[in-house]
Amino acid sequence: MKLFINILGGGIRVINRDRIPEDLDSYVVVCTHRTWMDVIALGVAMKPTPLHYMAKKELFGTKLTHWLFQSLHAFPVDRASPGPSSLKIPQRLLKEGKVVGIFPGGTRSSENSGLKRGAYVIAKRAGVPIVPAVYQGPITLKNLFKRQKIYVNFGEPIDLGEYSSKDSERVLQNIQEAFFALDKELD
C-alpha cells in the first residue's frame, strides 16, 4: 500500500511519531476519518507496528473486500447493533500486546462530527492509553493522482488511569481538542 501511495501520490509524511513512547506495547490509536485513504495512510504511518482496525461489517460483504480488509488487520463491527464482540475482539488484541486503530467519528466526515464512546470504553477496560492522530491530504482519488501530499500527525498519549468510567465525555472532549491542535500544527 505504501508503494501505491508513493507512486500515485506525493508520499506520506509522518509527523511526531516519536510522541508514541517506545515502551508502550499496546494502545488505541484514534484518528480523524476524512476519506478511505486515511485508513491506509495511518497503517503506513504506524509501520513497523501492525495496526488492527475496527471496520463496519458492510466492508466485508464480498470475498474480495473481505480478503482486503482482513489483510489490513481489520475486524468487522456491526454499527447498527453492536454486540459483545465489538468490545471483546479489540480488548483481546490489546491484551495480546497489539495496537488497535479506531476512527471515533464512526464514519467518514470532512467536518468535525461528534465522537463515539467506543474507543474510550475499549481503552479504559483494557487499561491502555489512547494516542490521537490526524490525517491531512487528498480526500479523493483525483487529488491523490495530482500528487497532493499526505500527512499523518501523532499527538501525546492520553493516559486514562486518572479517569473514572463516568468520565467518557471529558476524554472525548480531550480527544477532540487533540485533533484540533494536531490539525493546527499541520496548517
Give the CATH number, domain containing residue 147: 3.40.1130.10
Per-residue pLDDT for the chain (187 aa), expressed as one digit of tens each? 555 555 544 578 999 999 998 888 899 999 998 887 888 888 889 988 999 988 888 888 888 888 888 877 888 887 676 666 678 889 999 999 999 999 887 544 444 455 777 889 899 999 999 999 999 998 877 877 777 789 999 999 999 988 887 888 999 999 999 999 999 999 8
Alpha-helical runs (H) found in 9-152: 37-45, 63-71, 85-95, 118-126, 141-145
Q: Which domain holds residue 119?
A: 2-186
- The CB density around residue 180, as the number of other CB atoms within 10 Å, is 12
Of 90, 104, 103, residue with least CA distance to 41: 103
pLDDT at 110: 47
In the chain, helix, strand, coil percent, each to 5? Answer: 40, 20, 40
pLDDT at 165: 76
DSSP codes joined into one string, 33-50: --STHHHHHHHHHTTTS-
pLDDT at 146: 74
pLDDT at 134: 96
pLDDT at 85: 65
Tell me, yes or no, if the pTM score tops 0.95. no
Give per-residue pLDDT as tens, 38-65.
Answer: 888 888 899 889 999 888 888 888 888 8
pLDDT at 104: 85
pLDDT at 138: 85
pLDDT at 179: 94
Domain count, the chain: 1
- The CB density around residue 88, as the number of other CB atoms within 10 Å, is 12
- For the CA atoms of 68, 40, 91, 129, the dihedral, rounded to the nearest 10 degrees, stands at 170
